[in-house]
Amino acid sequence: MTGRFLRPASGRALAAFALAALVLAAGEEGGRSVWGGVYTEAQATRGAEAYQANCQSCHGAQLTGQGEAKPLSGASFLSGWNGLSVGDLFERIRSTMPMTAPKSLPRDTYADILAYLLKFNGFPAGMGELPGRAERLADIRFDAFRTSGLGLAGARAVTAPAPDAGPNGAPNPYVADAGFLKPPPGRTLGSSSGVAVDSRGHVWLADRCSANSCEASGLDPIMEFAADGAFIKAFGRGLFLFPHGLFIDAQDHVWVTDAQSRAGKGAQVFEFDQNGAVMRALGKPGVSVAGQDTFAEPSAVLVARDGTVFVADGHTQGKDPARIVKFDARGRFLKQWGVRGAAPGQMEVPHALAMDSGGRLFVADRWNNRVQIFDQEGGLLATWPQFGRPSGLYIDRTGTLYATDSESRQPEGYGHHPGWRRGIWIGSARTGVVTGFIPDLAPDPDKQATSGAEGIWVDRQGRIYASRVLEKGVVRYSKKP
Ligand code: HEC
């Protein structure tokens, strides 16, 4: 494990290694660690504000660092502090930062900022606050890659500071099948960021007309396949430019967004019944405006059990809007929230949506490299960086969150997310603990803006369906026997 990243083929070996490391770890002395919930959400929220005021100008809104100012998140930060204590980190920050005015902040403010750093790096919140005294922080180990204490399922990586196991070190318990869906004769599958499974196990795909656009195509983009992958039917020709988000609601209706618009077409959200009849069309064709009855670039749609409709609107970084729009079950506008930006609660390219059984709305805030969780009124509940740079989200019945990262890149520029690797993140939607990672196998991801899975859904058997823009079509992942 000397390369920049874990080698793709090493998933099985890694799982075995993680297991061995766990057994070893179990024999070590106890004591507190950063996995034990050593700060509170409220403290981290205060810390986020203090960070913005005192640290962000040098270390960046995403804690990626810039120039000489080192990253305060990701693999290099985590491995640099791994094995030391939170007290060490506290002293380091207090005695040298902010660079221009060390020790200028109250001790409690340094502790708050530390809480924010822990939260941003994926360590869970708990019931008590971090105190502002190094000696009391000295017994909290900064165990960057240790397990969560939730047993084997919580295995995160290995004890040795294999630096680049970092955030990508969780085991991959899946085998891939890229040839599972069988398109009809004469048709190939195109780019897709939307795949879903209905209550009968049928797989639905928003296919960009065998290409990466449906403009001027006579093909039907919405495709239905049987549970064994056999093609059943397709519909929707002429309605779409760029079919993007796909969702199947509790009545098995198929919802699809069109994230582009030109010449009287696009910028709409369609609801189809299973026969392909248009039940509803939200937005106005070709009118790309962030209004109450129009969308600019609708990326994703989600329908709650009670019929409430949520649309994530905004697909281009640096361009308004970046908002969530909420409609009642009859399609009447209720409210919207979200502005463009990197602060907590703001967003930049809200690319996908998911909802847990408690009705919390998960937003893939892609350009900000994080998942944000809101209540249904737009109140921010949590900000999670540990699921990569998310393009797609799905939460299954067991409360497992799946997030696709099709964009993380090491260099500056599009997709910049140093230390993070593309693939599918798997973890708990409740605690946020990451338990699995399916690496994307693109040979040189830094050369492409996208690769691997974007759209994602999981069937009742726990099989993952992941649709791809670059490589096209769908991969089905099944658990290793
Ligand atoms: C004026 C720019 C600037 C500001 C403001 C600033 N830093 Fe830094 N920081 C740096 C530079 C440059 C380095 C690298 C030099 C060094 O290690 O001292 C650094 C290093 C660090 C390190 C060490 C990272 C590592 O892994 O070795 C930490 C931690 C840190 N800063 C935290 C903070 C915090 C927290 C704040 C806000 C209270 C802050 N910094 C404000 C410029 C700044």
Nearest CA, atom 1, ligand 1: 99
Spatial separation of the C-alpha atoms in residues 352 and 357, rounded to whole Å: 17
d(CA 196, CA 354): 12
Is pLDDT above 50 for 52?
yes
Q: How far is the CA of 67 from the centre of ligand 1 (A)?
A: 11
In this chain, the answer to whether the domains covering 8-162 and 174-479 adopt an identical fold is: no
CA 347, 350, 356, 358: dihedral to nearest 10 degrees?
40
Answer yes or no: is pLDDT of 387 > 50. Answer: yes
Name the residue at shortest CA distance from atom 12 of ligand 1.
69
349: left (phi over 0), alpha (psi -120 to 50) or beta: left
pLDDT at 70: 87
Q: What pLDDT score does 161 carry?
A: 28
Q: At what angle do helices 107-120 and 41-54 cross, to 10 degrees?
A: 100
Query: Hunting for tokens 């822990």 — which residue is that?
Result: 118
For residue 30, pLDDT over 70 is answered with no
Average pLDDT over residues 46-51: 96
pLDDT at position 94: 94
Q: Is the pLDDT of residue 87 over 70?
A: yes
Residue 31: pLDDT band (50, 70, 90) is low
CA of 213 relative to ligand 1 center, distance in Å: 45
Please report the atom of ligand 1 found closest to the CA of residue 67: 12
Evaluate if residue 1 carries a pLDDT over 60: no
pLDDT at 402: 98
Exposure string of 333-353, with b = 16+ CB inside 10 Å and e = fewer, is eeebbbebebebbbbbbbbbb
Question: Count of CB atoms within 10 A of residue 174's CB?
Answer: 20
Residues 51, 56, 57, 61, CA torsion sign: negative
CATH 1.10.760 fits 8-162, yes or no: yes
Quote the pLDDT of residue 156.
34
The answer, yes or no, to whether residue 223 has pLDDT greater than 90, is: yes
Residue 309 has pLDDT above 90, yes or no: yes
**Confidence bin at 166 (pLDDT 50/70/90):** low
Q: Which pLDDT belongs to residue 145?
A: 67
- Confidence tier at 418 by pLDDT (50, 70, 90): confident
Whole-number Å distance, alpha carbon 196 to ligand 1 midpoint, is: 44
Contacts of 355 (CB under 8 A, 6+ apart): 302, 304, 310, 361, 362, 395
Q: Whose CA is nearest to atom 10 of ligand 1?
A: 69
Q: List, chain by chain if needed, residues with CB within 6 Å of any ligand 1 atom.
A: 54-55, 57-59, 68-70, 72, 77, 80, 92-93, 96-100, 113
User: Can you give the pLDDT at residue 165?
Assistant: 44
β pairing state of 323-327 and 309-313: antiparallel
345 phi, psi to nearest 5 deg: 90, -25
Check if CATH label 3.30.70.100 holds for domain 174-479.
no
| pTM for this prediction | 0.65
pLDDT surpassing 70 at residue 79: yes
Predicted confidence (pLDDT) at residue 5 exceeds the cutoff of 90: no
Percent of the chain with pLDDT over 70: 89
Weakest-pLDDT range from 73-82, 394-403, 409-418, 459-468? 73-82
If pLDDT is split at 50, 70 and 90, which confidence band does 153 have? very low
Least confident of 106-110, 334-338, 350-354, 446-450: 446-450
* Concatenated DSSP letters of 387-443: T-SEEEEEE-TT-EEEEEES--BSSSSTTB-TT---EEEEEETTT--EEEEEE---S
Q: Residue range 216-241: average pLDDT?
A: 97
Chain mean pLDDT for the chain: 88
Q: At 146, is the pLDDT very low, low, confident or very high (cuts 50, 70, 90)?
A: low
Residues 357-378: tens digit of each pLDDT: 999 999 999 999 999 999 999 9
pLDDT above 80: residue 149: no
For residue 110, give the ligand 1 atom closest to its CA.
Answer: 38
Distance from the CA of 201 to the center of ligand 1, in angstroms? 51
Give the domain ranges of the chain: 8-162, 174-479
How many residues does this entry show for the chain?
A: 481
What separation in Å is there between the alpha carbon of 105 and the centre of ligand 1? 14
Mean pLDDT of 6-26: 37
Which of 38-52, 165-179, 324-338 comes out lowest in average pLDDT? Answer: 165-179
